[in-house]
Amino acid sequence: MAEETKKEVAEETKTAAAEAAQAAPVEEFDWDALETETDGYSASEKTELFDRYDETLNAINQGEVVNGTVIAMSKKEVVVNIGYKSEGVVSRNEFRYNEDLKIGDPVELFIETLEDKSGQLVVSHKKARMHSAWDKVNEVLETGEIITGHVKCRTKGGLIADVFGIEAFLPGSQIDVKPIRDYDQYVGKNMEFKVVKINPEFKNVVVSHKALIEAELEEQKKQIMSGLEKGQVLEGIVKNITSYGVFIDLGGVDGLIHITDLSWGRVNHPEEIVSLDEKINVVILDFDDDKKRIALGLKQLQAHPWDSLDAELNVGDKVKGKVVVLADYGAFIEIAPGVEGLIHVSEMSWSQHLRTANDFLNIGDEVEAQILTLDREERKMSLGIKQLMPDPWEGIEDKYPVDSKHKSTVKNFTNFGVFVELEEGIDGLIHISDLSWEKKIKHPSEFCNVGDTMEVVVLELDKENRRLSLGHKQLEDNPWDTYATIFTEGSEHEGTVVKVKDKSGIVSLTHGVEGFCPVKHMAKEDGSSLNVDEKATFKVIEFNKDSKKIIVSHAAVWGEIEETKKRTSAARTSKAMKNLNDSSEKTTLGDLDALAELKEKMDKGK
């Protein structure tokens, strides 16, 4: 680059010389005097002249910063006079930050090399700026001085600007008071900044353009806030859209339209109602002088839909609408923009099973319903779907008379029974005691599962309260009527001990019946106790049909045998004694008669 500049200057010199040659004839040049160095100056005069020339030049050293003046400019280079024997040549790119650079402007240069291989002076304006940049940056941070920088490029989250030769970061949020969506529009331009933060350790500088206009806007905000009134209608521009609302620029101050104040109808996202940079009229709902918050409304500029609701609409009428909200307890139906009614889950079906609205409807479904309640003052309406379907309880006496048998589906359990469905809207309860004649059931889940098909018989019908009492065991005869004739008290039966708990046993008897054998009745004749899987003979000592209980005893069996033996033995002993007594009595009397006769004979002999 320096070579090109010198060539340009040489060409200009040649041209000037040619013009001078044409203007005046060239004299004969004294070549002999040149060879003998007879130029009219003595050696001392030459030395004096050289010293005086050197005094006109600045003394510069490598690695220092010097001041200079622009003396020439081209598209690629800038020539700077620094008062040295050669000028400094700098790339034009180093002055991109200053598009107004012109000849005669003072500039700073950093001396990199006094002479390179070509004998040229090597300087840098960029390094000169960097040399003093940190001092300047710290100074303007303290003073708050406004500086000018050149935006070099875009980066993540903002822009990079050249400030005093240092790359400073301009965050996107600090470009302007309003959100900027296109950062590229600022690249390559000069902007005014204020230095807001410096990190000396990492050599980071943060600048702000927004800070320059905030003070002016603050004054505008005060003027706007002082003139605000509730109910006032203003024109604003949509500045930002969020999921919860829309920010409106009212001309230097922002206000928020909450999503619920955008429309009388349901709004899923504010983008459905407004778009960025759109001009809209809003009404002031509330404002806070201290926090400078302004609540705005858009729907308030329109009449409430309930006010224009058809006056002829009454309870019992049918309406059509769209499902806009679903909850476990019901669904909200929009019958007109801003006019909604609630269908409670209990009004969706005649069925009494616990279900959620999701089982019947989906968001966006078009439904027809009947108005159940209507309160225009409170702006509330309740609707029903099942009312448009036939009531299954009408004529229930004919379909499900007492003692009639039907098939049902098990729906759910409670501790006291099973709820089954005979048809949609017709439910009944089977009490736990009506499930089985024989089994003792602690919980219905021991007997059946949800979804099972179960045959039932109608035991009781209460149409007024919509209740059906059902039974399952009643489908069969009560086997305990038969058991009462078999397991009579005192009767004996063969049985097997199937379970022993706390030394008491559960005994499996004939006909699939189980008996309870108390601990003292488990004793065997040899003094030991019956064990599990041991077979024996048991005597029924108690039978209770109502409680389905049979109490048996093994000890009573062998105890009765022993008692019988004792009674037989005692009878035999008694009889023997009687015979013996009878025999003794007869012998004694006979002996007495013989002795009497003998005595009488002896007396006569004397």
Q: 25 and 96, same structural domain?
A: yes
Q: What is the pLDDT of residue 59?
A: 60
Instruction: Determine, yes or no, domain membership for 325.
Output: yes
Q: 54 and 170, same structural domain?
A: no
Q: What is the pLDDT of residue 426?
A: 85
Which stretches of 374-511 are DSSP H helices? 396-399, 479-486
Q: Where residue 596 falls among pLDDT bands split at 50, 70, 90?
A: low
pLDDT digits (tens, 9 = 90+) for 201-246: 777 888 888 877 776 777 777 777 777 788 888 888 998 899 999 9
Residues whose CB falls within 8 Å of the CB of residue 55, separated by 6 or more in sequence, listed in order: none
Q: What is the pLDDT of residue 42?
A: 64
Q: Where residue 308 falls among pLDDT bands split at 50, 70, 90?
A: confident
Whether residue 192 has pLDDT greater than 50: yes
CB atoms within 10 A of CB 327: 12
Q: What is the pLDDT of residue 352?
A: 67
Output the six-digit token pair for 152: 């070099």
Task: Determine contact, residues 340/367, Cβ cutoff 8 Å.
Answer: no
The 3-class secondary structure across 547-585, one letter per residue, is: CCEEEEECHHHHHHHHHHHHHHHHHHHHHHHHHHHHHHH
Region of poorest pLDDT, from 128-142, 262-276, 461-475 = 128-142
CATH number for 183: 2.40.50.140
DSSP 410-428: EEEEETTEEEEEEETTEEE
Instruction: Determine, yes or no, domain membership for 115.
Output: yes
Report phi then psi at 173, rounded to 5. -75, -10
Q: 199 and 108, same structural domain?
A: no
| Mean pLDDT over the full length of the chain | 78
Q: 288 and 349, same structural domain?
A: no
Q: What is the pLDDT of residue 162?
A: 83
Whether residue 32 has pLDDT greater than 60: no
Q: 466 and 486, same structural domain?
A: no
Report which of residues 324 and 476 the model is more confident about: 324
Whether residue 439 has pLDDT greater than 80: no
Share of the chain above pLDDT 70, in %: 80
> CA torsion sign, 466 to 471 to 477 to 483?
negative
Whether residue 328 has pLDDT greater than 70: yes
pLDDT digits (tens, 9 = 90+) for 338-392: 888 999 988 888 776 667 888 888 888 899 999 999 888 888 899 998 888 888 8
Which DSSP symbol is given to 505? E
pLDDT mean over 425-448: 84
Report which of residues 111 and 296 the model is more confident about: 296
The CA distance from 322 to 248, in Å, is 31
Whether residue 432 has pLDDT greater than 70: yes
Q: Where residue 28 falls among pLDDT bands split at 50, 70, 90?
A: low
Q: 350 and 444, same structural domain?
A: no
Q: 515 and 428, same structural domain?
A: no
Angle value at C-alpha 151, between 148 and 157, nearest 5 degrees: 120
Residues whose CB falls within 8 Å of the CB of residue 521, separated by 6 or more in sequence, listed in order: 541, 552, 553, 554, 555, 556
Q: What is the pLDDT of residue 1?
A: 46
Whether residue 47 has pLDDT greater than 70: no
Task: State the residue range of the domain holding 470.
Answer: 396-475
Boundary (domain end) residue, out of 519, 537, 559: 559
CA nearest neighbour of 310 among 288, 339, 289: 339
Residues whose CB falls within 8 Å of the CB of residue 451, separated by 6 or more in sequence, listed in order: 409, 410
Pairing of strands 279-288, 254-258: unpaired
**Which residue has 């935006």 as its token pair?**
151
Strand partners, 449: none
CA nearest neighbour of 191 among 175, 172, 214, 167: 175
**Residue ranges of E strands in 166-272:** 166-171, 190-199, 204-208, 233-241, 245-249, 254-258
Task: Determine contact, residues 148/194, Cβ cutoff 8 Å.
Answer: no
Q: 495 and 402, same structural domain?
A: no
Q: 77 and 14, same structural domain?
A: yes
- DSSP H/E element including 322: strand 318-327
Q: 10 and 121, same structural domain?
A: yes
Output the six-digit token pair for 538: 């048991």
Instruction: Determine, yes or no, domain membership for 594.
Output: no
Report which of residues 338 and 561 the model is more confident about: 338
Instruction: Determine, yes or no, domain membership for 408.
Output: yes
Whether residue 38 has pLDDT greater than 50: no
Q: Where residue 304 falls among pLDDT bands split at 50, 70, 90?
A: confident
Residues whose CB falls within 8 Å of the CB of residue 256, separated by 6 or more in sequence, listed in order: 245, 246, 247, 248, 293, 294, 295, 296
Share of the chain above pLDDT 90, in %: 5
Q: 208 and 313, same structural domain?
A: no
Q: What is the pLDDT of residue 568?
A: 47
Q: What is the pLDDT of residue 517?
A: 92
CA end-to-end span of the chain: 202
Instruction: Determine, yes or no, domain membership for 342.
Output: yes
pLDDT digits (tens, 9 = 90+) for 153-173: 888 888 888 887 778 888 888
Q: 511 and 461, same structural domain?
A: no
Residue 119 vs residues 15, 73, 78, 87, 563: alpha-carbon distances, Å: 26, 21, 19, 12, 145
Report which of residues 128 and 50 the model is more confident about: 128
Q: What is the pLDDT of residue 45?
A: 58
Instruction: Determine, yes or no, domain membership for 587.
Output: no
Q: Which amino acid is present at 537?
A: T
Boundary (domain end) residue, out of 460, 475, 490: 475
* Total count of domains within the chain: 6
Q: What is the pLDDT of residue 383?
A: 92
Instruction: Determine, yes or no, domain membership for 569.
Output: no
pLDDT mean over 314-325: 89
pLDDT digits (tens, 9 = 90+) for 248-300: 888 778 889 999 888 888 888 999 889 988 899 999 888 876 656 889 998 88
Q: In what order do the strands lie in the sheet with 65-73?
A: 88-91, 77-81, 65-73, 106-113, 122-124
Boundary (domain end) residue, out of 364, 388, 412: 388
CB atoms within 10 A of CB 529: 17
Instruction: Determine, yes or no, domain membership for 591.
Output: no
Report phi then psi at 178, rounded to 5. -105, 150
